[in-house]
Structure 1
């Protein structure tokens, strides 16, 4: 009985760690103020920890209001070889980045500068919904 219980605990721990470790990969760019109007909230001021979603996560406007934790994983160009700060940021989707968008998530300039040097312009990221 004790061995069965130990197996159950180990399986639950493994499943929990797998779900925490899972993240999508993509790229992040940034835009500059003003951030209104937005596709989700019109002229409402949503603050600065915000982002626009590309088609990869837009989901026909269902992404509006979702929050994502975003972490820089590396450079996309040689101009700034080590752009990442080692920090993550949580942003809320308030806008749409239309086809041709250069990044999976287009962060506010303030959010981008938390995870990477803005001089990079575009970085590789891991992100997941929180």
Structure 2
């Protein structure tokens, strides 16, 4: 069983990031799987966001994306493992390809999202 508690929430933009995901700003060459995201500078807070979990929900298309990109299960939980490079970062969160594909059509490239920090604890 998992217990989830939520912190601050916001609306924003999520983009798609393809592999390789290493090295990352938070963990170097330590593999943290694919349920991961890079945060923009504001969200990254100089590394304070490393290891934090965010629940991300696809809410719709952006003006540059595919119409109706969200899947029937538009919410995932990701761990922040990296900084989205300021020069190329086009959103608040840069989701791994695998994670983005779970909540939206990858052809969209970017989506509008609702995201909130959460803490996830497994309880047996």
Distance 1:108 1:79, change over 3 A: closer
CA distance in 2, matches of 1:127, 1:26: 7
- Normalising by structure 1, report the TM-score: 0.80
The alignment status of 1:68 with 2:60, answered yes or no, reads no
CA RMSD of aligned residues (A): 1.6
CA distance in 1, matches of 2:17, 2:92: 13
The alignment status of 1:88 with 2:75, answered yes or no, reads yes
- Structure 2: runs of 5+ lacking an equivalent: 119-124
CA distance in 2, matches of 1:112, 1:26: 14
- Normalising by structure 2, report the TM-score: 0.84
Structure ranking higher on relative contact order (CA contacts 8 Å, 6+ apart): 2
Which residue, 69, 81, 84 being the options, matches 1:97?
84
Q: Is the 8 A contact 2:65 2:110 kept in 1?
A: no
More strand by share: 2
The alignment status of 1:123 with 2:108, answered yes or no, reads no
- Structure 1: runs of 5+ lacking an equivalent: 1-18
* Cross-structure match for 1:59: 45
* Number of equivalences: 111
CA distance in 2, matches of 1:78, 1:40: 30
Question: Which of the pair has more CA radius of gyration?
Answer: 1
More helix by share: 1
